[in-house]
């Protein structure tokens, strides 16, 4: 019996995470469920599934069900905000073409430093529930920076809940091991604009970074601490 829920907030490599777990679930003969806005609140009445794409962190009611393993992908919120800016300014679509152009033009008219400072509260609210997860033992934490810079380490943690033999593990690893090799130069028009961690250091000024460091101290400490779990 395998019950797995994958939590990958926006700007945490969720597109890759979905592809990875769809393929892994197929190899493991586990029912893959793509979580969208239409089905995120619906109960899953199965004993063997991997539900991927929750945009929020599990609350205590869900975490108390120890039959479910929750996998949470985390990313530095400073990089998340920089990535969000470029998505809204250049690459993300918003319904009809005129709507997309309006969002892009509105965002590009805002200085990136002002943009990220305006979004601090939103990130902090999103992370409120994640702090509770450390009190539970049915949690696996994954990290965006390890996914990009140390894929083997990320991979070993990501497949723990699945009943896989060595041959299956190798098949999955071979499928994705080169995903983050030979990363192309930055292109603001691409959905994968710049995947290398630490981009905020290049895009933001010193005062903004100091403000983010202060506002996100608890979140950054939490992320660093979970790397040892």
Rg of the chain over Cα atoms, rounded to whole angstroms, equals 18
* Of 10, 64, 24, the residue nearest 154 (C-alpha): 24
3-state secondary structure 16-43: HHHHHHHHHHHHCCCEEEECCCCCCCCC
- pLDDT at res. 192: 61
- pLDDT at res. 103: 73
- pLDDT at res. 190: 55
27-86 confidence digits (pLDDT tens): 999 999 999 888 888 889 999 999 999 988 888 878 999 999 999 999 999 999 999 998
* Helix pair angle (151-158, 166-176), 10° resolution: 140
Sorted by where each starts, the structural domains of the chain and their CATH numbers stand as 2-226 (3.40.50.300)
Which tokens go with 126? 């999103």
Torsions phi, psi for 103 (to 5 deg): -65, -45
- The overall longest dimension of the chain from CA atoms, in Å, is 53
| Positions of the chain with pLDDT under 70 | 92-98, 184-193, 229
Regarding pTM above 0.85, the answer is yes
- pLDDT at res. 137: 93
């Amino acid at each position: 019996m395998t019950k797995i829920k994958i939590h990958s907030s926006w700007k945490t490599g969720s597109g890759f995470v979905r592809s990875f777990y769809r393929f892994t679930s197929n190899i493991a003969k586990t029912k893959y469920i793509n979580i969208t806005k239409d089905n995120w609140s619906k109960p899953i009445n199965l004993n063997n599934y991997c539900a991927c794409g929750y945009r929020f962190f599990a609350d205590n009611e869900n975490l108390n069900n120890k039959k479910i393993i929750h996998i949470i992908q985390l990313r530095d919120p400073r990089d998340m905000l920089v990535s969000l800016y470029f998505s809204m300014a250049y690459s993300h679509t918003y319904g009809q073409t005129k709507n997309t152009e309006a969002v892009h033009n509105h965002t590009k008219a805002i200085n990136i430093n002002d943009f990220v400072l305006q979004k601090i509260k939103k990130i902090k609210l999103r992370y409120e529930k994640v702090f509770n997860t450390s009190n539970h033992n049915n949690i696996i934490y994954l990290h965006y920076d390890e996914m990009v810079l140390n894929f083997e380490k990320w991979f070993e943690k990501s497949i723990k809940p699945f009943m896989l033999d060595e041959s299956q593990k190798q098949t999955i690893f071979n499928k994705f091991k080169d995903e983050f090799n030979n990363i192309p130069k930055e292109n603001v028009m691409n959905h994968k604009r710049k995947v290398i961690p630490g981009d905020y250091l290049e895009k933001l000024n010193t005062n903004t970074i100091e403000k983010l460091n202060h506002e996100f101290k608890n979140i950054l400490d939490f992320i660093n601490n979970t790397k040892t779990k």
